[in-house]
Structure 1
Amino acid sequence: MKKVLVGMSGGVDSTVTALLLKEDGYEVEGLYMKLHSKPGYHEVHLARAQKAADFVGIKLHVLDLQYTFNEKVFQPFIDTYEKGQTPNPCALCNRNLKFGEMIKFADKIGADYLATGHYIKTDGKYFYEAEDDTKDQSYFLFYVNKDILPRLVFPLGERKKSDIKDFAASIKGLESFASQEESSEICFVDTTYTDLLKDYVEVDKPGEVLDTDGNVIGEHKGYMHYTIGKRKGFTVNGAHDPHFVLSIDAKKNQITVGKREDLACNYVELENLNMFNDEKEFDTHVKLRYRTKAVACHVIIEGNCAKVTLKEDVLGVAEGQAAVFYDNNKLLGGGWITKTANKTA
């Protein structure tokens, strides 16, 4: 009998994942990971995870990874905002903890496979978008080490979220899991990211707003309040038309603003690639932010970096975000955006 370790959060997705795998004949054990240190969070979610494990009839392990999470996810989150960029903590967490530390724990208990409640598919060589495109999480898993793909199992990849909730609601003892509120995209942020940042860095630091010619035209309340494309929260003297954040200079505490069309980008450069194929130059599609459509592009890879020319303009591309390549529904890999430009402007 093959043994599988299931990451359990106390939610309906991981609970149904564990149940389906046990029904499929696997020897199943669960793992709850203590990641961030948000007060009161783990008491609630660990109790739910234990309830789920008891219902399925499996052992639940608990792994305290708060130190590792702070070092590899939370501090980079803070550092990225300090640099005036937009972070993607979920992708870092998936690589370093959910599919990094968890695979180490799977080895420790002799598990052949690792499973989670993510909505994604894999054939052991590539990731593929989930059947439910409204819940697909492939964008956030582009950074996972490709060496572990043959050991990953995703029972929900072929299913719809609505079916999972209906399934749980139909089983006596699981009804409460079906009606639970969905977790937020960034689990350690309660309200807004700026409220969180204020505990660690100086966020409210007024500075200058510039136009595209470098003229001072207004004031903002601190550069960390802004991301590329934002159109509120700063003043522009005498402005009648909407203005959007085009760039952020963290060292000078300045933001540059302009018209919506000034946000257009058709070229990006990437670093720290994580590719599942070996091609060095190819045409494909790329997503430059979660919940956006993939656009056609030409990719040239040089070492651990890539130059990506977009076949159409994209608005509001932010440094620090992930650029993820897709061939139809197959994920080819991706990297981190370090430069954006409009080469036809």
Structure 2
Amino acid sequence: MSKIAVAMSGGVDSSVVFRMLYEEGHEVFGITMRHLPEELVRDRIGSCCAPRAVRAASRLAASLNRPHYLFDLSEEFAATVMRWTAEAYRSGVTPNPCVLCNEGIKFGLLFQRARALGAEFLATGHYARVHNGRLFAARDRMRDQSYFLYRVPRSVLSATFFPLGEVGKDEVRRMAEEWDLEMKDAPDSTDVCFAPEGDFSYIFERFAPEAIESGPIVDEATRLLGRHRGFGRVTIGQRRGLGIPASERLYVRAIRPETKTVVLGGRPVASRMLVENLIWHQKMPERFEAVVKIRSRHPGRAVSIERIGDRCHVTFPAPEPNVTPGQSAVFYEGDCVLGGGIICQGEV
């Protein structure tokens, strides 16, 4: 049996993982990171690593006579994930902070802490699978989180367990009920942890205040349509919540940070896109075909890829709507994650 550190947020998923591995006879211990300021997590039951959830994780470990360690990574998280997210919005793109957090914090700093405590493996409550250091989508496609994990290097994946990759959420809830876990009825955490209900005001106020300053909303002919409450609050392809009455559907076509201008028009589509900052989990040819997901809930599209240095051009079989700069493009062969990168721009 192995010595395994379980990353415990205090939610139902990581709690079930802890108990599963304990029942299998592994030498488990819990590790939790404190990464958010108190005002963002106070009284938020479903929030990642909220005070109540952290206490529940500690009590679960204690009930099984297993250690539980709490690490304060708030400074590192603010300096990297929160600042980077705010600066990305300020530049007019729409980032995915969970991807960066997984790469640098959870499977970076927290993984290192686990190793320093003698862990052979790190286990988490993510819905994904690992085989021989290769990342695969979860069996439960509705819960699959492999999209958010594509930047975790193979060296770390080789020392990682995702026990929930083979089961569904209903089974997780059933096990939590059977073991009478304290957080068995806790709601799923769906928001970005530092943006409750999709509100990024906290990081904008601290790192990019100009992103929430009012500015003009114009059409593609530069006619003034109204004013927005901050260009950081909108994304390419957004239609709802713009506050502009119109006889036809209007979408965000462009964001121009230098003038704080948001441009509306018809639904944006792209026949090709440029992807940069690539990471691959195996050696790839210069030209190949794969399935790409451009959002976590994107159904995936069969595409042609041409690698050019540390970038690649991706060609869609038909014009693809809402190709959003700053989001990740993750490439799959069947269930296997080949790699991915950051969308730089869509091309008509």
Counterpart amino acid of residue 14 in structure 1: S
Output aligned runs, 1:95-106, within 5 Å.
95-106=103-114
Which consecutive residues of structure 1, in runs of 5 or more, have no partner in the other structure?
none
The size of the alignment, in residue pairs, is 336
Q: Does 1:254 align with 2:261?
A: yes
Output aligned runs, 1:1-345, within 5 Å.
1-39=1-39, 40=42, 42-172=50-180, 174=181, 176-200=182-206, 201-212=209-220, 214-221=221-228, 222-234=230-242, 239-260=246-267, 263-279=268-284, 280-342=286-348
Q: Post-superposition shift, 1:4?
A: 0.8
Q: Post-superposition shift, 1:233?
A: 4.5
Determine if contact 2:194/2:200 at 8 Å carries over to the other structure.
no
Structure 2 CA distance for partners of 1:132 and 1:250, relative to 1, 3 Å: same
Structure 2 CA distance for partners of 1:255 and 1:55, relative to 1, 3 Å: same
Determine if contact 2:92/2:231 at 8 Å carries over to the other structure.
yes
Counterpart amino acid of residue 159 in structure 2: R
In the alignment, the residues of structure 1 paired with residue 154 and residue 310 of structure 2 have an alpha-carbon distance, to the nearest angstrom, of: 15
Determine if contact 1:284/1:296 at 8 Å carries over to the other structure.
yes
> Cα RMSD (Å) of the superposition?
1.8
Q: Percent of aligned pairs with the same residue?
A: 31
In the alignment, the residues of structure 1 paired with residue 125 and residue 243 of structure 2 have an alpha-carbon distance, to the nearest angstrom, of: 44
Q: Post-superposition shift, 1:191?
A: 3.1
- Give the alignment's TM-score, normalised by structure 2: 0.91
Counterpart amino acid of residue 280 in structure 2: M
Q: Post-superposition shift, 1:197?
A: 4.5
Q: Post-superposition shift, 1:143?
A: 1.0
Counterpart amino acid of residue 138 in structure 1: S
Determine if contact 2:231/2:261 at 8 Å carries over to the other structure.
yes
Instruction: Please give the per-residue CA displacement for 1:211-264, whole angstroms capped at 9, x wherever unaligned.
Output: 33x422412213222111222444668x4212111111111111221123xx11
SS in 1 for 2:61: helix
Instruction: Please give the per-residue CA displacement for 1:251-284, whole angstroms capped at 9, x wherever unaligned.
Output: 1111221123xx1112111111111121132100
Structure 2 CA distance for partners of 1:234 and 1:11, relative to 1, 3 Å: closer
Which consecutive residues of structure 2, in runs of 5 or more, have no partner in the other structure?
43-48
Structure 2 CA distance for partners of 1:217 and 1:101, relative to 1, 3 Å: same
Determine if contact 2:289/2:305 at 8 Å carries over to the other structure.
yes
Counterpart amino acid of residue 285 in structure 1: V
Determine if contact 1:220/1:234 at 8 Å carries over to the other structure.
no
Determine if contact 2:192/2:198 at 8 Å carries over to the other structure.
no
SS in 1 for 2:189: coil
Q: Post-superposition shift, 1:55?
A: 2.8
In the alignment, the residues of structure 2 paired with residue 53 and residue 251 of structure 1 have an alpha-carbon distance, to the nearest angstrom, of: 51
SS in 1 for 2:305: strand
Counterpart amino acid of residue 21 in structure 2: L
SS in 1 for 2:338: strand
Structure 2 CA distance for partners of 1:12 and 1:55, relative to 1, 3 Å: farther
